[in-house]
C-alpha cells in the first residue's frame, strides 16, 4: 500500500508539484487513534513545492490519490497530516492473500547470502547458567529470524575447552576429589551428578582453596615471614602496607584487594595450574587424558541442557583446535610487522593509534590468550565456509571492547571479510540477590531454573483445571511447553541491548505480556476453529472496526520479520505478537463468531481467527517457542 502510493506520487510529481521529488520526502506514519484512518501521509514536506497551506496541499494530494487508487475509500486532512481510510474490500483481499500463503511473511529460503550466527560459547569448567539462557535463546532466535528473511544461516558455537580456567577445575579434581571405598575419585557415574555440574563443583573448589592459600600468605607476610617468596612481591607488599596510613575506608579496601591479588600470584595452586596449562599445550599424555576425560563429562551434560533449551547447532568449533591456527597467524603477523615481541618474549599489538591500547596475543611462556584463539576461529570459519557474508557473535556487552579489538586485528591482518563481522551485544541478566559469579558458585543454574519454571507451570495449569482427559504424557508435554515458552518469551521480549531483571514467577503468568498469555490465545483459537467446522472462500464485503484492526496487524507481519532481522532483535517479534493477541482478544470479546447468522460473516471471522493462530504459531516459532492446541 505505502509502496503504491509512493510510486504514484513519484511518477506524477511534475504534474502535481511542478518538480521531480525525492522519495525521501514521502513519509508515512501510523494514524493517531483519535483520527479516522488507516494510514497517514505527512504533508509538510510538500508544502514548499506546492506553495500553499498544509490543508490545501493535503486536499490536492488526497483528491489525486483517491482518483488513482481504488483502495482509498476516503481521506481527511488534519493539521498537516493526510489520513487515508482504506476500503473494506482491500482489507478482505489482504486477508485472502494471507490465508493462501502457508509461509506468510517469510522470504524464499536460502535466497540471500550466508551468515553464521555464533551463540552459547560455553566454558567447559562449569555448567550453563541463567546468562547462557538469554544468550542461547537470543542467538537461536536471531538465526531463525534471519532464515525467515531468506538468509542461509549457519548456527555455530565455539566451545572454550582450554585455558587456565579449565586447568583450575582439572587441578582441583586431582587434589581435592575424595576417594570412595573402591579408591575412585568422583565421576558422573559414581556420584549420579551431571558431568558439567561435577566439573563446575571443582572450579568453585579451586577458588575456595585458592583464596584460602592467598590469605595464609598474607598472614605470613604480616608476621614478617617472607622466605620462599619473590623479592618483587614482598617489596610490593611492604610498599602497599605502608601506603595504608591515613587512607579512608574505600581506599583501604582498594589496597587490600591489590595485596590479595599479589598473594594469589604467589600461591602454589596458581603455579601448578599454569604449569598444567603449559603441559597441556605440549600435549603431555597424562594431562591430555585428564582433559579429554573431564571434557567428555561436560559435553554430555551440555547436550542434555541444550535439548531442554530447544536449541541446536550446525557446526561446533573447539578452542583446543582453533588456538593452533591462531598461534600460526600470530607468528605470520610478527613477520608482517602487525605484532611485536617484548623483552620477556610475549607478543603484542599496539592499537593506541586507533584509540585503543596494547593487546597481548601470546604470553611470555608461549601460551595463548582468548584473542589468539578468536583470531584462529574466525579464519577457520572462512576456510570452512568461503561464501560467508557475515559472522554474528552473540556475546554479552561485557565483551564489547574485546570484539572491537578482534575485528580491528583481523582488518590489520588483511582480512577484508572482517568488515562483515559484528558483535550482537546484549545486556546482562540481573537477579534480586545481585550479580552472578561462577567461581564463587553464586550462579543460577540453567537446568535448575528450567525445572523450576516447568514445575511452576505444572502447578498453575493444574489449579486451573482445564486438563481433564489428557494423558499423563500430554500433560507433562504441556507443562514443559508452557514453562519453557514463558521463560524464553520473558528473556526475549526485552531489547537485547538492555540489562534486565529476571522474575521466574512473572514469566509464567497468564495475564500481561507473557508467553503463556500468547499460548493461551492460540489454544483458544484452536478450540474455536474445531467447533466452527470447515471454512470456505471469502465472500464477506463488510468489516467491523475490530476486525479491520486485526487484519491490519496481520498484514504487518512481513515488515515485522524484516525489521527484526535488520535490528537483530527478537523483542520486535515479541512486541508484535503481544499487540496482535490483544487486538484479536478485543475482536473475540466484542463480535460474535459461532453464533453469527450471516454465513459469509461467520466464515470470514473463522478465517481471520485461523490466520491469527497461524501467525502466532509462526512468530512464536521465530523465538523458539511452541504453542499448544489445548491449554
Q: What is the DSSP string of 250-315?
A: HHHHHHHHHHHHHHHTT-HHHHHHHHHHHHHHTT-HHHHHHHHHHHHHHHHHHHHHHHHHT---SE
Q: What is the pLDDT, as a whole number, of residue 439?
A: 46
- CATH of range 2-86; options 1.10.240.10, 3.30.1360.120, 3.30.750.24, 3.30.1360.70: 3.30.1360.70
Burial class of residue 46 in the structure, from the number of CB atoms within 10 Å of its CB (0-12 exposed, 13-18 middle, 19+ buried): buried
Q: What is the pLDDT, as a whole number, of residue 437?
A: 47
Confidence of residue 504 (pLDDT cuts 50, 70, 90): confident
pLDDT in tens, 132-152: 999 999 999 999 999 999 999
Confidence of residue 468 (pLDDT cuts 50, 70, 90): confident
Instruction: Return the percentage of the chain with pLDDT > 90, whole number.
Output: 87
Q: What is the pLDDT, as a whole number, of residue 442?
A: 56
Q: What is the DSSP letter of 429?
A: E
Q: What is the DSSP letter of 445?
A: B
pLDDT in tens, 304-356: 999 999 999 999 999 999 999 999 999 999 999 999 999 999 999 999 999 99
> What's the average model confidence in pLDDT over 599-617?
97
Write out the three cell numbers for 499.
Answer: 540489562
Q: What is the pLDDT, as a whole number, of residue 464?
A: 82
> Tell me: domain 446-622, CATH 2.60.40.420, correct?
no
Contact at 8 Å (CB) between 317 and 377? yes
Q: What is the pLDDT, as a whole number, of residue 466?
A: 78
Q: What is the pLDDT, as a whole number, of residue 1?
A: 87
pLDDT at 436 over 80: no
pLDDT in tens, 50-73: 889 999 999 999 999 999 999 999
Q: Cα 297 vs. chain centroid, distance in angstroms? A: 27
- Rounded to the nearest integer, the mean pLDDT of the chain is 94
Q: What is the pLDDT, as a whole number, of residue 600?
A: 95
Note the pTM of the prediction, 2 decimals: 0.90
CA distance 598 to 591: 13
pLDDT at 302 over 90: yes
Provide the terminal-to-terminal Cα distance of the chain, rounded to the nearest Å.
38
Whose cell is 537470543? That residue is 138
pLDDT at 177 over 50: yes
pLDDT at 434 over 60: no
> What's the average model confidence in pLDDT over 191-198?
96
> What's the average model confidence in pLDDT over 242-266?
94
Q: What is the pLDDT, as a whole number, of residue 387?
A: 96
| Maximum pairwise Cα distance, the chain | 97
Q: What is the pLDDT, as a whole number, of residue 438?
A: 42
Q: What is the pLDDT, as a whole number, of residue 420?
A: 97
Write out the three cell numbers for 161.
Answer: 575447552
pLDDT at 535 over 80: yes
> What's the average model confidence in pLDDT over 169-184?
96
> What's the average model confidence in pLDDT over 353-372?
94
Whose cell is 543460577? That residue is 444
Beta-strand pair 114-118/388-396: parallel
Q: What is the DSSP letter of 351?
A: -
Domain ranges of the chain: 2-86, 159-229+266-320+373-430, 446-622
Q: Cα 526 vs. chain centroid, distance in angstroms? A: 30
> What's the average model confidence in pLDDT over 275-280?
94
Confidence of residue 48 (pLDDT cuts 50, 70, 90): confident
pLDDT in tens, 199-209: 999 999 999 99
pLDDT at 432 over 80: no
115 phi-psi bin (left φ>0, alpha ψ -120 to 50, beta other): beta
> Tell me: domain 159-229+266-320+373-430, CATH 3.40.50.620, correct?
yes
The least confident of 5-14, 503-512, 527-536, 579-588 is 503-512
Q: What is the pLDDT, as a whole number, of residue 510?
A: 87
Amino acid at each position: 500500500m505505502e509502496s503504491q502510493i509512493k510510486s504514484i506520487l513519484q511518477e506524477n510529481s511534475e504534474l502535481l508539484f511542478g518538480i521531480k521529488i525525492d522519495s525521501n520526502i514521502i513519509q508515512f506514519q501510523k494514524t493517531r487513534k483519535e483520527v479516522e484512518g488507516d494510514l497517514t501521509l505527512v504533508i509538510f514536506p510538500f508544502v514548499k513545492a506546492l506553495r500553499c497551506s498544509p490543508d490545501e496541499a493535503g486536499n490536492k494530494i488526497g483528491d489525486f490519490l483517491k482518483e488513482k487508487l481504488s483502495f482509498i475509500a476516503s481521506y481527511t486532512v488534519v493539521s498537516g497530516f493526510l489520513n487515508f481510510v482504506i476500503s473494506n474490500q482491500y482489507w478482505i483481499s489482504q486477508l485472502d492473500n494471507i490465508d493462501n500463503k502457508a509461509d506468510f511473511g517469510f522470504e524464499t529460503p536460502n535466497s540471500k547470502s550466508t551468515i553464521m550466527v555464533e551463540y552459547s560459547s560455553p566454558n567447559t569448567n562449569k555448567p550453563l547458567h541463567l546468562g547462557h539462557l538469554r544468550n542461547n535463546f537470543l542467538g537461536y532466535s536471531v538465526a531463525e529470524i534471519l532464515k525467515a528473511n531468506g538468509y542461509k544461516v549457519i548456527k555455530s558455537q565455539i566451545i572454550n575447552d582450554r585455558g587456565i580456567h579449565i586447568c583450575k577445575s582439572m587441578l582441583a579434581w586431582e587434589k581435592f576429589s575424595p576417594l570412595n571405598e573402591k579408591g575412585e575419585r568422583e565421576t558422573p557415574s559414581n556420584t549420579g551428578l551431571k558431568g558439567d555440574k561435577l566439573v563446575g563443583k571443582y572450579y568453585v573448589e579451586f577458588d575456595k582453596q585458592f583464596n584460602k592459600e592467598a590469605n595464609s600468605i598474607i598472614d605470613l607476610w604480616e608476621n614478617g615471614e617472607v622466605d620462599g617468596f619473590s623479592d618483587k612481591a614482598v617489596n610490593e607488599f611492604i610498599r602497599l602496607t605502608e601506603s595504608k596510613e591515613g587512607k579512608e575506608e574505600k581506599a583501604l579496601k582498594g589496597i587490600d584487594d591489590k595485596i590479595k591479588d599479589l598473594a594469589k600470584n604467589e600461591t602454589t595452586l596458581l603455579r601448578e595450574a599454569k604449569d598444567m596449562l603449559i603441559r597441556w599445550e605440549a600435549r603431555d599424555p597424562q594431562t591430555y587424558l585428564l582433559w579429554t576425560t573431564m571434557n567428555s563429562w561436560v559435553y554430555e551434560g551440555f547436550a542434555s541442557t541444550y535439548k531442554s533449551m530447544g536449541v541446536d547447532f550446525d557446526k561446533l568449533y573447539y578452542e583446543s583446535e582453533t588456538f593452533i591456527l591462531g598461534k600460526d597467524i600470530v607468528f605470520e603477523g610478527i613477520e608482517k610487522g602487525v605484532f611485536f615481541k617484548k623483552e620477556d618474549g610475549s607478543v603484542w599489538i599496539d592499537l593506541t593509534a586507533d584509540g585503543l591500547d596494547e593487546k597481548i596475543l601470546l604470553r611470555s611462556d608461549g601460551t595463548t590468550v582468548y584473542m589468539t584463539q578468536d583470531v584462529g576461529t574466525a579464519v577457520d570459519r572462512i576456510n570452512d565456509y568461503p561464501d560467508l557474508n557475515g559472522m554474528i557473535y552473540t556475546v554479552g556487552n561485557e565483551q564489547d571492547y574485546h570484539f572491537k579489538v578482534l575485528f580491528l586485528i583481523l582488518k590489520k591482518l588483511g582480512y577484508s571479510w572482517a568488515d562483515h563481522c559484528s558483535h550482537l551485544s546484549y545486556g546482562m541478566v540481573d537477579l534480586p540477590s545481585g550479580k552472578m559469579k561462577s567461581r564463587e558458585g553464586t550462579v543460577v543454574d540453567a537446568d535448575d531454573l528450567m525445572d523450576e519454571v516447568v514445575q511452576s507451570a505444572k502447578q498453575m495449569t493444574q489449579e486451573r483445571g482445564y486438563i481433564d482427559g489428557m494423558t499423563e504424557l500430554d500433560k507433562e508435554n504441556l507443562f514443559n511447553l508452557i514453562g519453557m515458552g514463558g521463560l524464553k518469551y520473558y528473556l526475549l521480549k526485552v531489547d537485547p541491548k538492555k540489562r534486565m531483571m529476571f522474575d521466574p514467577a512473572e514469566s509464567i503468568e497468564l495475564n500481561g505480556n507473557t508467553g503463556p498469555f500468547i499460548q493461551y490465545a492460540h489454544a483458544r483459537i484452536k478450540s474455536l476453529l474445531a467447533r466452527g467446522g470447515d471454512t470456505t472462500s471469502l465472500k464477506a464485503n463488510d468489516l467491523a472496526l475490530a476486525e479491520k484492526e486485526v487484519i491490519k496487524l496481520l498484514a504487518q507481519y512481513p515488515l515485522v520479520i524484516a525489521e527484526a532481522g535488520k535490528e537483530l532483535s527478537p523483542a520486535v517479534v515479541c512486541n508484535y505478537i503481544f499487540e496482535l493477541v490483544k487486538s484479536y482478544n478485543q475482536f473475540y470479546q466484542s463480535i460474535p463468531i459461532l453464533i453469527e447468522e450471516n454465513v459469509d460473516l461467520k466464515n470470514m471471522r473463522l478465517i481471520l481467527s485461523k490466520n491469527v493462530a497461524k501467525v502466532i504459531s509462526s512468530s512464536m516459532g521465530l523465538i523458539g517457542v511452541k504453542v499448544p492446541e489445548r491449554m
